[in-house]
């Protein structure tokens, strides 16, 4: 079952209301809907393209039936570094290149135990998501998030040359197919400029081999970089607390 994903509005800077938001790293990959309502797993891009056959590793992970997830698919090389061209080679190859490591990072749950839960507050959905995703594998994981402090987070993102952040209202409902100010993104355009420069001349568009039409645009972000980012963020907050007590 395909559900149109909720869209985000772009703003030029993080919100000033730091206390009443949650902040996540913006992952530069494929927006992917994971659907398993009746025991048959299907994977869809945000434009409803069925790409299930491209990622069999995800199908091997045992998740409860009756769930639909929203998340981002990323790819990494053997050193956990982003490799855009490697992912392109995998998707466009006539043979399935399963030696290219992929990871599905789920950040929301739309169906739980066969019931639609989009009307629940985001934090409640996050709790249900944690109950759904196992912790003993790295193929499907949940997105890490922090409360507030989106400006600090964004500063760290820029320091590490990452794409940006997503800021969400903790009580927001999931509005399928709509663009809402409840979810906003802040882009690090220095990262975008460097990405375009480094990939100049490379074929960004993927062609659907069955219908011969462009269907999604992909880039990737390493798991290793995210771990470094979260640790740097914790250190930054700790130092701020120490400085404020002096």
Active-site residue among 26, 46, 168, 169?
A: 26
Q: What span, in angstroms and rounded, lies between the C-alpha atoms of 110 and 126? A: 10
Helix/strand/coil for 193: helix
Strand pairing of 214-217 and 205-207?
antiparallel
Rounded Cα distance, 218 and 75, in Å: 10
Closest listed residue to residue 219, CA positions, set 24, 93, 76: 76
CB 91 within 8 A of CB 49: no
Spell out the alpha helix ranges (H) of the chain: 56-59, 84-92, 122-132, 150-159, 189-198, 223-244
- Does residue 103 contact residue 138 with C-beta atoms inside 8 Å? yes
26 part of the active site: yes
DSSP for 105-174?
EEEEEEEETTEE-TTS-HHHHHHHHHHHS-SS-SSEEEPPEEES-HHHHHHHHHHTT--EEEEE-TT---
Q: Which residues pair with 147 in a beta bridge?
A: 22
In angstroms, the CA 240 to CA 243 distance is 5
Task: Give catalytic residue positions.
Answer: 26
């Amino acid at each position: 079952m395909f559900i149109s994903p909720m869209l985000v509005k772009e703003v030029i800077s993080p919100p000033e209301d730091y206390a009443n938001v949650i902040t996540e790293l913006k992952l530069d990959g494929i927006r992917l809907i994971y659907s398993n309502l009746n025991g048959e797993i299907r994977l869809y891009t945000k434009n409803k393209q069925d790409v299930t056959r491209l990622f069999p590793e995800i199908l091997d992970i045992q998740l409860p039936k009756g769930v639909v997830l929203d998340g981002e698919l990323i790819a990494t090389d053997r050193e956990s570094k982003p490799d855009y061209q490697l992912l392109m080679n995998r998707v466009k190859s006539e043979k399935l290149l399963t030696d290219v490591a992929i990871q599905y990072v789920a950040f929301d749950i739309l169906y739980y135990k066969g019931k639609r839960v989009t009307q629940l507050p985001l934090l409640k959905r996050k709790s249900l998501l944690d109950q759904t995703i196992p912790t003993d594998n790295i193929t499907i994981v949940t997105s890490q998030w922090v409360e507030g402090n989106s400006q600090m987070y964004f500063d760290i993102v820029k320091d590490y040359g990452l794409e940006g952040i997503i800021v969400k209202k903790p009580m927001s409902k999931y509005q399928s197919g709509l663009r809402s100010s409840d979810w906003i993104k802040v882009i690090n355009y220095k990262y975008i400029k460097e990405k375009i420069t480094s990939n100049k001349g490379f074929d960004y568009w993927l062609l659907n081999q069955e219908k011969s039409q462009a269907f999604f645009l992909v880039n990737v972000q390493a798991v290793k970089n995210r771990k470094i980012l979260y640790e740097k963020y914790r250190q930054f907050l700790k130092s701020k607390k120490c400085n404020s007590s002096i």
